[in-house]
Structure 1
Amino acid sequence: MEYFSDQEHGSKARTEDVILPSVWGGIVAAVKGLISTGAFGEHFPEVCLDGTLPVGTDESAFSLAIQAEIPELEWPLKTTQRQQEGYRWEEIPYSPSELVVLDFVQFCYLHVSKPIQGTYHEWHKHYHLSFDSQTGKDEFRQKINRIFSRNGVSYELKQDGNIIRLAPAVLREELESANFSTGDGTLNQMLEEARRKFLDPNPTIRREAVERLWDSWERLKSIEVPLDKKDSISQLLDKAAAEEKFRGLLEEEARKLSDIGNTFHIRHSEVTQTAINEPLHIDYLFHRLFSMILLLIRARNI
């Protein structure tokens, strides 16, 4: 089903890196519903008292396993916390950090299955269960990604169980499907590493993506004439633009990008350099250089 608002106005832009309490509440509700149906019973079975067949989820074993692997996550799962307002205490909406939430989603995806009711046990009033692992994972992934999408959250749970950060729309398709072919194996590997790091949910890893991309830029600039970087970049720019004014624009941009790499804490670590910490600034710089690199690679391969 597609919501009427999406039909009328399109889906919400997936730009939010912060997981708000409302999103966390939706995830908690989904997982609690799955626990109640026995969807985690394949890995954490509550066993029938008259035999060895699973009849549901052993929530105690499930929670112990989660706390062992995600120690920052509190159990029972909480969606509110107490806060003092003057002489009173109020319950306010709460969500853990983004990385804790995403780890929790991945843990659940790894262990979820679709429970299939078998024989009915009249004495204990329950069904014996079997499980369809792939269907359970597909349904869980669709449910989580729907929550993310409806709230404009820029994360997506993939079929392999990994979670990626959706790049801003302007270069999303290029980043997610890029297959680098520069003729230089090391450069291809460096660009792929930068691409992969940029799609990581962890902001620290995304900062590393910017550093790796600027390293790639320096290598690309010498790819035509390895012993003469100035001549090499000139040849690259010639291939990218024959028209004089646009060629000049690209040369100015190439010079500016190199200056950025030397001025900010990207390629070097001197105390005089400026650190880049804001996620939006990281996105901006990555996209700016990635666009230039993509243009030069494509022009070189024509």
Structure 2
Amino acid sequence: MSDFYYSDRNDPPTPQEQETITPEAWGALVSLVDQALDNGSLARAFPLRDCHNHHKAGDGPITGVDRPKLFRAVRGEIPRLPLVPDSHKAYRLDADQVPDTSTALDLIEFIGPHIHQPDGEDRSCYWDGMIDVHYTFAEFIPQDPDDLFFDEQPRLAPGQEEYRQAVERIFRRQGLAFTLDRQMKVSRRGPYEARAQLSKFRPQTGDQALDELFTLATTRFLSPDLQERIWALEKLWDAYEWTMTLHPEGKGKKDSAPKLLRQAAGGSEELFQLLDTEFLALNKIGNGFRIRHFGRFKSHELPSSEFVDYLFTRMLAALAFVLRSSGRMAT
């Protein structure tokens, strides 16, 4: 909830621009995972069965989380995650050693689908006042894909929405430019200047393959991984080249592009000249940097993540204007 704390309700929101996991955010994420370990929310996926009143090992009620099994899975799937030995003959997360951002986000995505909060706890005394805790879990049937038409949001196991909101709260209050959706997938919120454009970008060009290419580019641009964003930039440049051939009276790109820009300009010569200048500049950038063409002496490396964001945002804004002004954008 955005009004969880007093400051959420009364202070200006913290800008979510930071794209690197902070030590404070990592410590909060570790605490969130530790809480899920302690309250049995990971016990259904990694069950420990060591009830002292049950004589057959591994065949009794669930008494907790099998931490060695869980952290073997974690180490296998997220090898760069910092772990330290603990008293459970397994490992625990190291709150003081902050991993790279991709690794921290991988942990969020690993834990989320395994969350299933117990619906009850039974306590039994087995010897000299010692207590066993037995967890019980309500039956949960994941949403059938065939039923998604009738349900706008996928069903979540008990505790998953609380986990998602807790992660979202950490992102928001730490100013991190990420979000966790109901599929338990982390995505970038994107730079501020691109967010409104991305939320409204629904091309309807008349060419389904081109529309799908735009969707692929804008979706992958929200990846936390820089290489994914560079790939998205390449796809957006491909979509630009394709868009410039859309005018029905055009004979190839060189003939179609000015006709398309004049259509978008709506009869204004000044606006046509501005659009022509902008797309010539963008074309020069595409040729000058290693976006579409590769060669040792022909192009330059993209210098930074911020530069990738700048180019993507600039190109998207120009294309959105042309598509919308020429009647090729869904309303």
1:221 to 213, 222, 244: 244
AA at the equivalent of 2:221: F
CA distances 1:136-176 after superposition (whole Å, capped 9, x unpaired): 11111110111011011111111112111111223314424
Q: Which whole-Å CA distance do the structure 1 matches of 2:220 and 2:62 have between them?
A: 41
The answer to whether the 8 Å contact 1:221/1:232 transfers is yes
Aligned match for 2:259, one of 235, 242, 247: 235
1:294 paired to 2:310? no
Query: 1:194 offset after TM fit, Å?
Result: 0.8
Deviations 1:181-208 (A, max 9, x none): 1111221121111111101111110011
Q: What is aligned with 1:129?
A: 135
User: Could you tell me which of 21, 24, 27 is aligned with 2:23?
Assistant: 21
Aligned to 1:258: 283
Worse-matched range after superposition: 24-33 or 9-18: 9-18
**How much identity, in percent, do the aligned residues show?**
29
Question: Paired residue for 1:70, among 52, 60, 78?
Answer: 78
Deviations 1:8-55 (A, max 9, x none): 332211111111111111100111111111110001112123342112
Distance 1:137 1:126 in 2: 26
Residue aligning to 1:54:
62
How much has 1:209 moved relative to structure 2?
Answer: 0.9
Task: Provide structure 1 residue ranges, at least 5 long, that are not aligned to the other structure.
Answer: 81-93
Q: Give the structure 2 partner of residue 83 of structure 1.
A: none
* Structure 1 residue corresponding to 2:233, chosen from 196, 210, 220: 210
Equivalent pair of 1:156/1:163 in contact (CA under 8 Å)? yes
User: Structure 2: which 5+ runs fail to align?
Assistant: 55-59, 84-91, 139-155
CA offsets 1:35-89 (integer angstroms, 9 cap, x no match)? 1111100011121233421122121211111111111113231132xxxxxxxxx
**Quick one: distance in 2 between partners of 1:276 and 1:226?**
33
AA aligned opposite 1:204: Q
Determine the structure 1 residue equivalent to 2:175: 152
In the TM superposition, 1:74-153 aligns within 5 A as 74-75=82-83, 76-80=92-96, 94-123=97-126, 124-131=130-137, 134-153=157-176
Query: Which residue, 3, 6, 24 being the options, matches 2:5?
Result: 3
One-letter identity of the residue aligned with 1:276:
L
2:306 to 263, 280, 289: 280
TM-score calculated relative to the size of structure 1: 0.90
Give me the TM-score of the superposition, normalised by structure 2.
0.82
SS at the partner of 2:7?
helix
User: Which has more helix, going by share of residues?
Assistant: 1
SS of the aligned residue for 2:272 comes to helix
Moved more, 216-225 or 120-129: 120-129
Supply the RMSD in Å over aligned alpha carbons.
1.8
Given that residues 179 and 186 in structure 2 are in contact (C-alpha distance below 8 angstroms), is that contact kept between their aligned partners in structure 1? yes
- Residue equivalent to 2:45: 43
Tell me how far 1:252 sits from its aligned partner.
0.6
Distance in structure 2 (CA, Å) of the matches to 1:50 and 1:301: 72
Inter-CA distance 49–182: structure 2 relative to 1 (3 Å threshold): farther
Structure 1 residue aligned with 2:295 = 270
Q: Is the 2:14–2:172 Cα contact (8 Å) retained in structure 1? A: yes
Distance in 2 between the 1:177 and 1:107 partners?
31
One-letter amino acid of the counterpart of residue 285, structure 2: I
Mapped contact 2:46–2:69 kept (Cα < 8 A):
yes
Deviation beyond 4 Å, 4+ runs, structure 1? none
In the other structure, the counterpart of 1:248 is 273
How far did 1:226 drift?
Answer: 5.3
